Chains A and B, each alone.
Chain A
Amino acid sequence: MTTMTDHTTDVPVRKSITVKATTEHAFRVFTAEIDTWWPRAHHIGKVPMKKVIVEGGVGGRCYTEQVDGTECDWGSILVWDPPRRFVMAWQINGEWQFEPDVAKSSEVEVRFTPEADGSTRVDLEHRCFDRLVSGGEAMSKAVDSPGGWGDSLQLFAARAEQAN
């Protein structure tokens, strides 16, 4: 059990992977070509998605195009330093809705580091989950309601596995 001032919620998710490619290639596939690998079930649109887009540059939009022609924002670029690093605001709240305020959003940083053998180490950090709490009334309701967040996690996990 922790207190309100503890930093349990600040603990980031960290993942690393090494790919046999240059940093330029890895950075490009991760961002400009994200649609080629992004798990198809992972979007917050009401209808299936057609395409996922990450626009390069600070302020660039991260959004999906849905099959009905609508667009669905889910993030924006905060730091853009190709081919080494970018940071995006992950603007999805606890109800799986777009969060316009980046101050209430979590963040994803991805770093691309060249290795001696010509491959690239990719380090990903998803952090600032505590910001979801400070803006988190909606989130807390979502967690508790039938069909809410807890159920969504199961659904998302199951759908993502099907999609893979």
Chain B
Amino acid sequence: MPVGELAREFPVSRPAISQHLRILKKARLVVDRPLGNRRLYELNPDAFASLREYFDRFWSRALAAFKKKVEERLKEENRDDHDRSHD
């Protein structure tokens, strides 16, 4: 997408958009390529892939810990009930 087109979609100036794009490009969140005398900007899917990958790993680990705790607690409660029934 060219800068001019992007600028129309945001309530900020075109130079401000260009500045944002430079930062995004430096961070490799966007990549650009020339087309005639313009530059086209595109999202770099790799950056978002790593964000998703991080949360993918995080939630796998967190949900496994959650499952362990839920089922542990249930066992404890059953044991308590069992103990009480023998009181």
A→B interface (CB under 8 Å)? 1-6, 8-9, 11, 13, 15, 17, 19-21, 25-26, 29-30, 33, 36-39, 42, 122, 124, 126, 129, 132-133, 136-137, 139-144, 150, 153, 156-157, 160-161, 164
What's the minimum C-beta distance from A120 to chain B, rounded to whole angstroms? 8
Interface residues of B in 49-68 (CB under 8 A from A): 50-52, 54-68
B31 touches A143 (CB 8 A): no
A-B residue pairs in contact (CB < 8 Å), sample of 8: A13-B59, A17-B66, A20-B70, A30-B66, A126-B55, A140-B26, A140-B29, A150-B50
B→A interface (CB under 8 Å)? 1, 6, 20, 23-24, 26-31, 41-43, 45, 47-48, 50-52, 54-71, 73-74
Kindly list chain B residues whose C-beta atoms are within 8 Å of the C-beta of A36: 69, 73
CA distance A140 to B26 in the complex (A): 8
B67 touches A19 (CB 8 A): yes
Q: Which of B1, B63, B69 contacts A4 (CB 8 A)?
A: B1
Q: What is the interface of chain B mostly: helix, strand, loop, or mixed?
A: helix
What's the minimum C-beta distance from A7 to chain B, rounded to whole angstroms? 10
Kindly list chain B residues whose C-beta atoms are within 8 Å of the C-beta of A156: 54, 58
Closest 4 CB pairs of A and B: A140-B27, A37-B69, A144-B27, A4-B1
